[in-house]
Amino acid sequence: MQLKIALSRSWYCRSRVRRAHRPRIKLRNLRDEVVMQKSIPTLSRRSFLSGTAGALAAPIVLRASCAAADSGSLTFTSWGGTYEEALIKTVTNPFTQETGIKVNLIPTPDLAKLKAQQLTNTVDVDALLVTAEVAATASKQGAWEKLDMSKFDVEDMTVPPTSEYVTWDMYVGGIAWDANKYGQGKHPTNFAEYFDLKKFPGRRTFRNRPNEALEAALLADGTAPNKIYPLDVDRAFKVLDRIKSSVAAWITATPQTVSLLQTGEVDFSYTYANRIKETAQPGSGSSLGFSFEQNLLSTEKLVIPKGAPNKENAMKFVAYASRADVQARLFNVSPVVPNSKKAISMLSAEARKWMPDMNNPNNLVLDGAYWADNLEPVTRRFKEWVLT
C-alpha cells in the first residue's frame, strides 16, 4: 500500500510540474529571471560561491512542496577530484553503511539554478556545502530548511550554528614566504608586519576582492578581532593605501598565491595553509613557510534547501557529517580545519601541524553575514581603488 501511495504521489508531482510550465505567465517569470541575473556582478571552490550570493537577491516564494516521500537516498554536492575521493572514503560510504541511505554526489549547482528549481518545485539536491556569505544571503530569502538542533553537539562546535546552517570546516588564510630566502625574523608573521614595508620590504600579494583584504588591513592597524565588524571601510582603505605600491599581484586564481612565491615573482604572499601544505609533499621542489601567528578563518556551511526531495535523509546526513569522529576521518586527509573541537584532538600529529590554535585571540573568523549585506557595494569600491 505504501508503495502505491508513493508512486501515485510521484506521478501527481510530475504532472503538476509539467503543467506548471504551460501557462504563459511562467515564461514571463523566466524572462524576468534572466533580466534580474544580468544585474548581478560576477566575481571570481569559495570564490565561485561567494559570487553567486547576489543570485538570491530576490525573495524566494515557495508553493506547498509536492516532493515525494523520502527514498533510500539523498543527493549532496562535491568539488570533485581528490576532495571527492576523500569524501566518498571517509564520509559518504561510511554513512551508507551505517544508515542504509545511499549518497549521490553532484557538482555544486549555480544558486540561481537552485532558486529557479525552488520556484517550480523541481529541486534535485538535498544538502549543499556553501560559503558563509551564500548561506547568510539565502537564509534571508527563505531558501533553507530549519535544522533539528537536537541532533547536534552544539557545545562541540567552534563556530556555533544558526537555525538553518552549521559550519563544517574552516579554511586558514595567512602569510607565506620562501623559506630558502627568508629565515627566522626576516619575514612577516602577522598582518601588522605584512603591512610594515620598512621592516619587511618586498613584493606582496593580496586577493583581488575586499573580503579578507579589508579585515587584514584593520587587524594590521590594531583593531581587535572582536571589534572588526561592522567594518570601518574608510579606515581599511586608508590602511591599504600604505601597502598598495608593494602589492605586485592582485590575485584572482588561488594557485597564483603559491606559484608566484615559487617562481620568485613575489617575496611574501597572502595564501592558505592547505595550499602551502601541498608544496611540502616530497618532490615538490619548494620550501615555503606559513605563519600560524595570526590567521583569517573562512567557514563553509552545510544547508538543506527548501523543497529537498529527501529532506529527512538530508537531516540525518548533515547531523552525521557534523559528528567529531566523521570530521576527524575527513580532515585527516583533507587539509582544512574541522568545526568540531573534539575532532581536532583526534587528528594525526601531521594534520595538526597545518592547523592554527583555535584559542588564539589574534585569529578572526570571517563574518559571512556582514558580506552578505555588503559584498556588492564594497566590491565596486575595491575594484575602482585597485585600478586607480
User: CATH assignment of 173-297+378-387?
Assistant: 3.40.190.10
Average pLDDT, the chain: 85
Answer for the pair 44, 252: CB distance below 8 angstroms, yes or no: yes
Q: How confident is the model at residue 70 (pLDDT cuts 50, 70, 90)?
A: low
Answer for the pair 314, 126: CB distance below 8 angstroms, yes or no: yes
Same fold, 45-169+299-364 and 173-297+378-387: yes
What is the identity of the amino acid at 292? F
Lowest-pLDDT choice from 43-47, 289-293, 334-338? 43-47
Return the pLDDT at 293: 98
Look up the CATH architecture of domain 45-169+299-364: 3-Layer(aba) Sandwich (3.40)
Return the pLDDT at 299: 97
Write out pLDDT tens, residues 348-372: 999 999 999 999 999 999 999 999 9
C-alpha 99: how far from its chain's center? Answer: 27
Q: Where are the domains of the chain?
A: 1-30, 45-169+299-364, 173-297+378-387
- Crossing angle of helices 233-243 and 368-387, in 10° steps, is 40
pLDDT (average), residues 128-137: 94
Return the pLDDT at 285: 64
Return the pLDDT at 69: 53
Cell output for 66: 509536492
59, containing H or E segment = none
What is the identity of the amino acid at 369? A
Report for 34-48, 239-253, 274-288: range of highest mean pLDDT: 239-253
Write out pLDDT tens, residues 185-215: 999 999 999 999 999 999 999 999 999 999 9
Q: How confident is the model at residue 5 (pLDDT cuts 50, 70, 90)?
A: very low
Q: How confident is the model at residue 279 (pLDDT cuts 50, 70, 90)?
A: confident
Return the pLDDT at 373: 95
| Per-residue pLDDT at 13 exceeds 60 | no
| Per-residue pLDDT at 288 exceeds 90 | yes
Return the pLDDT at 21: 40
Write out pLDDT tens, residues 139-176: 999 999 999 999 999 999 999 999 999 999 999 999 99
C-alpha 306: how far from its chain's center? Answer: 20
Place of cell 546552517: 165
